[in-house]
Chain A
Amino acid sequence: MELREQIIQVEGLSAAYDEQTILDDISFSIGRGEVFVILGGSGCGKSTLLKHLIGLYRPTAGRIFIDGENLVAAHGAERKALLRKIGVMYQHGALFGSMTLLENLCLPLEEFTDLPETARNLIATMNLSLVGLADYPHHYPAEISGGMRKRPAIARAMVLGPQILFLVEPSAGLDPVTSAEMDELILRLASSQGMTFVVVSHELPSICAIADRAIMLDKTSKGIIASGTPQQLAHSAIPQVRRFFARQAGNG
């Protein structure tokens, strides 16, 4: 594996809800420009890990470095600046229902930049066209299909030019064709925009298609049981990991 500059480093991260430990002392790092997949079965702590990485939750122990700075210890303006380096697409899009797609994209530009209106409009339209939705600027999120809703959500996450894009289940609940289109979109964005992608997913075909590297979380050990390229994971010596990947043949 080629050595890349690391953009995210997680050191000894532990997370718990009340008394229940979800993640126990996990460490990994993500290289700049990588498409990195966090995978695992339901309830293994994928979403919990992600919510810690994007600063929504505070870990019980451990450090998370984003671009060399510790997110856990950062406060105030420092933390804000750090969070500006990331964009997040939530599983169901989390688009604002009272705004059109264009307004959804214009909102962060309006709040965080002093660009003139035409500039905001142009950038929002460009980002919509990147995800193939240039024809729907005035549609409300409720007026486009559920599968389509993830696209403007990606565009909105990208609109401020983040260095890292977090995608939560980008292809969950999509039909195989749309799911493949989503994978293509992610690959195209990854290669052209130079952004780092952190994807939380359990959709095997899409993991194999997009991932440069992946880690697999496990419910019983509350940690990472395997990491590597999808090929390495598929031929892993650990039976649980092999079983997870073998399901693909059974399904597909």
Chain B
Amino acid sequence: MARATDTATPPAATLSIDDSRPAQLLLTIAGRLDLAGASALWQPAVEIVAQRQPQRLQLNVAGVDYCDGTGIGLLVELERRTTLYGGAFELQGLAEKFVRLREQFDLDRLRELPSTRPAPCCLPEATGIAMVKTWRALQALVSFTGELTVALLAALKQPRTVRWRDVWLTVEKAGVDALPIVALLSFLVGLIMAFQAAIPMRQFGTEIYVANLIGLATLRELGPLMTAIILAGRSASAFAAELGTMKVNEEIDALTTMGLAPVPFLVVTRVLAALFVTPLLTLFADLLGLAGGSVVLLSLDYPLVTYIHQVQSAVSFGDCLGGLAKSLVFGIIIAAIGCLQGLRAGSGASAVGDAATRAVVSGIVLIVIGDGVFSVLYYYLGI
């Protein structure tokens, strides 16, 4: 009758059932009533009581030589079940040493068990909560933007107050360390795009214009956008996790009580670093993207000089500058969103993960929106 559980000690508890008398049930439990024993007997014992619903349940435990919390749990459960349908319960032969254990539990309090999950809230309530949360997030974004602007202006006025050591450290982590991945991705995207374009264009003998395509697309769009998205994945999440952990560890509170506001102290350094590295990385990405395109044209037997000339004639310095201007804004967005989400992190381990996720997601969304705004702006400005 005893089922094997995954516990190490074999269940050594036994249950015997005597229902010879009408409206009465005698259960005898013996042996070792620990987690393994109690788990093995739980289902059969509870089931027989639920089936028979005897007016009187006698539970004889004189043969129990060991009993722990789980064992007492089984006894309590049988008593609880019996009294719930109005039956009488009698516990016989509980050894003296286990009586104290049993007495610690108040059956009245255990009659109604709490559900394992709190009641789910209804739709209007959930909608309201979500709206309030969104509203607060918006408020936080606006006030953070203001605070950051003030702090950046203050840093501009008095550059000596900025902790440049931290800025250079972040420049290294977010910029220099990102070079390989930015290089690889830009090169590959340039190469793939050129390859895809070269196949149909070759049918018309216009494959030399692949250089125009790569030049314009990379300098104006893909260079800045790819760099920004890579940085959002690498650095916005890192900022959010870093500041989020500091928040959880009360380090932010410590800074505040020292009189160091977190925004100038932590955020400005990161935003300045991002401001510095994003255009540089973008320039690097532009170069590698063009190099990727050149590989395709070289394989189509065009000399490198032709490719370079074609690119030079297709793109202007303004195209490159426009891309770099965009990347400056992207840099601010990435660093600011990462820091904002970190500072807004709740408590607990999952809060840091949530903050990092929000930083990446909202960072990428804002970058793409910003890119759209720039496209419209450049169109009207004729750039």
Contacts and interface: CB of A to CB of B under 8 A. Distances in A.
Contact of B116 (A113, A117, A129): A117
A20 interface: no
A193 B110 CA distance: 19
Contacts of A119: 39, 42, 46, 73-74, 77
Interface string A131-164: 0001001100110000000000000001111000
Contacts of A160: 35, 70
A114 B39 contact: yes
Interface stretch (A76-84, A202-210, A216-224, A232-240): A76-84
Contact of B42 (A106, A112, A115): A115
A119 B5 CA distance: 15
Interface of B: 3, 5-9, 34-35, 39, 42-43, 46, 68-74, 76-77, 80, 97, 100-101, 104-106, 109-110, 113-118, 346-351
A211 B101 CA distance: 21
Q: Which of A98, A115, A159, A160 has the most CB of B within 10 A?
A: A115
B100 A191 contact: yes
Q: Which of A102, A113, A159 has the most CB of B within 10 A?
A: A113
A49 to B, nearest CB: 25
A215 B6 CA distance: 36
A126 B113 CA distance: 10
A100 interface: yes
B193 to A, nearest CB: 43
A159 B70 CA distance: 8
A225 interface: no
Nearest to A117: B116
A97 B347 contact: yes
Q: Which of B70, B71, B76, B80 has the most CB of A within 10 A?
A: B70
A160 B110 CA distance: 19
A130 B106 CA distance: 10
Given A125-B113, A192-B104, A113 B35 contact: yes
A14 B231 CA distance: 47
Contact of B110 (A100, A117, A129): A129
A148 to B, nearest CB: 15
Nearest to B3: A114
Contacts, number: 106
B69 A126 contact: yes
Contacts of B97: 194
A77 B9 CA distance: 12
Nearest to B101: A192
Interface of A: 77, 80-81, 84, 97-98, 100, 102-103, 106, 112-123, 125-127, 129-130, 134, 137-138, 141-142, 158-161, 188, 191-194
B185 to A, nearest CB: 34
Interface of A is mostly: helix
A123 B33 CA distance: 14
Contact of A129 (B39, B106, B351): B106
Contacts of A134: 109
A98 B348 CA distance: 8
Contacts of B71: 161
Contacts of B349: 97-98
Nearest to B350: A98
B104 A113 contact: no
A191 B101 CA distance: 9
A7 to B, nearest CB: 14
Contact of B8 (A77, A102, A188): A77
A100 B100 CA distance: 29
Contacts of B77: 118-119, 122
A121 B6 contact: no
A103 B116 contact: yes
A209 B307 CA distance: 85
A129 B105 contact: yes
A97 B350 contact: yes
Nearest to B70: A161
Contacts of B74: 119
A161 B114 contact: no
20 contacts: A102-B114, A113-B39, A114-B3, A114-B39, A118-B77, A119-B73, A121-B115, A122-B110, A125-B113, A126-B105, A129-B106, A130-B104, A141-B348, A142-B347, A160-B35, A161-B34, A191-B100, A192-B101, A194-B68, A194-B97
A159 to B, nearest CB: 8
